[in-house]
Structure 1
């Protein structure tokens, strides 16, 4: 393996950390016959171990990440996988050390080299079907998420589409091993995310695979197996709404409404059947100021959620966004076909009730995903001093962890969609945008681009760019 020439740790704490990380990964590499990593390979060790530590067993990404050393051991030094691995490792290293410009520059070089190697691999009849080639695409999409900037708005979506194309090339190999099945499911999740944001049906490769994958599906996958029908509903709604009223086949419109309502019921049923280990607890906040005064104050969540972990919170927010999208389809199509007034009014009330619950629940997840310690929340009378409708989560009463991990990135898409619900109260919308602005201020470029925008997903249009929600 070619050595990575980067700056070495400059403090005792960093040296101790990277030494520990190196020792952790060294044993795994030795078992595979790769040999111990040198000090120049610290970015790889840092990326591997810190990523592994941030993933729970329930998250499929952890299983896939554990396979990386095996894939490295059987791939060539100049392969797309090797180069993509170096690119993302250096990107993670550089992000934790902003002053290390050499790592950032070398990361971009390795990324470009990996793209060139990938283009060569997909033209090779043998390499195009290899696990290493498909995994390299996943690393490239991860690199694009980490290093996102305005010059790479379309890169992530392009590579997710490319991963689907590789799945078509692999054919039956997609289900030949547990590793292949897990990669397929991981790519399916990303494909759903991607196509929800452009309102187009997902690739047919993902249809009809339920029986082959049932042994590997978890709670999130069972949610996704339902959500994969949403992009097709979005697309059909846009087709119907683009036609003049005299040209619309109203039987198709009514069938779309029934299909959307059925899917919404199925999603609600998924939530009701969630296992206890995937459930969350709810804390009701008490107000400590007079009602007359609170009526003029800004928005503060009435409920706060505490989850078993960031992964579980992210899955729940995916569920909430899926239901918000379905409600938007129902509102748009029902209004267009001019249903009977009484029935339509009843449907509208039901839809708005669901919207309100989903937006409130997204807001309730914010403190946990921002990393606040909620363990003693019931012991204090917080929030009585909060009056500003633009206030962030009450940092004056509790401090978010500055050193521990947070799930702030996974909040960007749910907050972006939630604040775009037309019926959400203006004070709540401003509060949500304040969260996005705070996240943007921590260096998340995705949040910076959406913090003042309305999500087009709820209105049938494609987003200006596609991005992951991890």
Structure 2
């Protein structure tokens, strides 16, 4: 059941090891919270919370010994709890807890040492955490830890497809470090260096799209009829949701570098929300929860870009609200709210958003 997705290594763990309570409870908490949101059942949500707390307690016990702290199951359990926070986000504390989980897992990664990259599980864990760390650094305008950038230079055994993804991550790391060197977004005290670096990054992003392997090519589907779920008259279809996520990361990062690719912002969303090859504008199948998770930050990035139109910002907010209400990924709600209020996502007011509809939030945004 774990052979596909963000955690391909879980199948190996379950087949080769006795599963401890930390990992078992982390997996259970995620499954239960998904069921709770699907059925709208507070009783199931309470059980999910209990499993989450049980997993935290077990992880704390593991961290008291070096072997326990270094184990695959410990770090995987922490990563899963970070995903739990994403799916249940209802306050600023949830956002901060997600960040702490990612920071803690990164510390354990360093404790385990670079030799872990030689194992399949260790490699996949590093790749998964690298994405989370970069996302966190982009949000906080922080420099990427040296361990992430240094280890990314030593993945000599990667396939062509994997190496292409690593190249994209290295570009994102360079953007993070450039942004971290600025005191604010409008800081051009060293304008020559900043502009030259940004232009070089933009060029390398463009070259990345031209040198991708054939497996990275996606299909563009043109609609015969307009649909409220599609921003334009066409959208993209990928060979897998993970390839689509990679292209989303490219678009998000390049937007942050120069904000010059707005025409691509809405094209990736329909595929992730259930549109495949049809041209009628109707959903082919209900999307999986993981699709919504992979859309959160690309959509948020698109919506908060300074020169994006109000029409597109409202459309993006609508997609985020749909992900929150229909798919049960609660973090999408406050992201939509803070985006429309032109606020940082850590400054949102839960008292204002708790009972607000999308129309109410949009009215607030336009009068802000």
Structure 1 and Structure 2 fold alike (TM over 0.5): yes
Match of 1:317 among 237, 245, 248: 248
Decide whether aligned partners of structure 1 residues 403 and 241 sit closer, same or farther in structure 2, where only a CA change above 3 A counts: closer
Match of 1:412 among 278, 284, 296: 296
**1:160·1:187 contact (CA, 8 Å) conserved in 2?**
yes
Unaligned ranges ≥5, structure 2 = 348-368
* Cα shift readout 1:33-80 (whole Å, capped 9, x = no counterpart): xxxxxxxxxxxxxxxx3x55xx3xxx5x24223223046x3454x4x2
**1:440·1:446 contact (CA, 8 Å) conserved in 2?**
yes
User: Equivalent residue for 1:335?
Assistant: none
User: Equivalent residue for 1:8?
Assistant: none
Q: Distance between the aligned counterparts of 1:418 and 1:315, measured in 2? A: 15
Q: Distance between the aligned counterparts of 1:136 and 1:287, measured in 2? A: 45
Match of 1:282 among 212, 220, 228: 220
User: Equivalent residue for 1:140?
Assistant: 81
Q: Distance between the aligned counterparts of 1:148 and 1:314, measured in 2? A: 21
Give the RMSD, CA atoms, in angstroms.
Answer: 3.0
**2:324·2:332 contact (CA, 8 Å) conserved in 1?**
yes
Q: Distance between the aligned counterparts of 1:130 and 1:300, measured in 2? A: 45
Q: Distance between the aligned counterparts of 1:93 and 1:68, measured in 2? A: 24
Give the secondary-structure state (helix, strand or coil) at the position aligned to 1:398. Answer: coil
User: Equivalent residue for 1:234?
Assistant: 179
**2:23·2:55 contact (CA, 8 Å) conserved in 1?**
yes
Q: Map residues 347-358 of structure 1 onto 2, 5 A cutoff.
A: 354=260, 358=261
Report deviation, 1:310.
Answer: 2.2
Give the secondary-structure state (helix, strand or coil) at the position aligned to 1:324. Answer: helix
Question: May I ask how many residue pairs the two structures share in their alignment?
Answer: 338
**1:409·1:444 contact (CA, 8 Å) conserved in 2?**
yes
1:110 aligns with 2:24: no
* Cα shift readout 1:165-209 (whole Å, capped 9, x = no counterpart): 111211244334222122112111111111111110122211322
Q: Distance between the aligned counterparts of 1:144 and 1:130, measured in 2? A: 22
Decide whether aligned partners of structure 1 residues 324 and 123 sit closer, same or farther in structure 2, where only a CA change above 3 A counts: same
**1:160·1:190 contact (CA, 8 Å) conserved in 2?**
yes
Q: Distance between the aligned counterparts of 1:147 and 1:431, measured in 2? A: 23
Report deviation, 1:373.
Answer: 4.3
* Cα shift readout 1:211-269 (whole Å, capped 9, x = no counterpart): 53232361333311221222111111226956xx9xx4x3xx32222222212211111
User: Equivalent residue for 2:335?
Assistant: 450
**1:164·1:203 contact (CA, 8 Å) conserved in 2?**
no
**1:202·1:228 contact (CA, 8 Å) conserved in 2?**
yes
Decide whether aligned partners of structure 1 residues 261 and 462 sit closer, same or farther in structure 2, where only a CA change above 3 A counts: farther
1:425 aligns with 2:309: yes
User: Equivalent residue for 1:262?
Assistant: 200
**2:221·2:277 contact (CA, 8 Å) conserved in 1?**
no
1:437 aligns with 2:340: no
Unaligned ranges ≥5, structure 1 = 1-48, 289-298, 328-350, 378-396, 466-470
Larger radius of gyration: 1
**2:317·2:339 contact (CA, 8 Å) conserved in 1?**
no
Give the secondary-structure state (helix, strand or coil) at the position aligned to 2:220. Answer: strand
Q: Distance between the aligned counterparts of 1:229 and 1:455, measured in 2? A: 29
Report deviation, 1:100.
Answer: 7.4
User: Equivalent residue for 2:264?
Assistant: 361
User: Equivalent residue for 2:125?
Assistant: 183
**1:118·1:133 contact (CA, 8 Å) conserved in 2?**
yes
Q: Map residues 49-128 of structure 1 onto 2, 5 A cutoff.
A: 49=1, 52=3, 55=4, 61-70=6-15, 73-76=17-20, 78=21, 80-99=22-41, 101=43, 103-128=44-69
* Cα shift readout 1:387-444 (whole Å, capped 9, x = no counterpart): xxxxxxxxxx532245453733322322222122232333333333332333333133
Decide whether aligned partners of structure 1 residues 97 and 430 sit closer, same or farther in structure 2, where only a CA change above 3 A counts: closer
More off after superposition, 300-309 vs 120-129: 300-309
Q: Distance between the aligned counterparts of 1:462 and 1:453, measured in 2? A: 6
Give the secondary-structure state (helix, strand or coil) at the position aligned to 1:228. Answer: helix
**2:179·2:185 contact (CA, 8 Å) conserved in 1?**
no
Give the secondary-structure state (helix, strand or coil) at the position aligned to 1:208. Answer: helix
**2:85·2:95 contact (CA, 8 Å) conserved in 1?**
no
Decide whether aligned partners of structure 1 residues 373 and 167 sit closer, same or farther in structure 2, where only a CA change above 3 A counts: closer
Q: Distance between the aligned counterparts of 2:176 and 2:185, measured in 1? A: 14
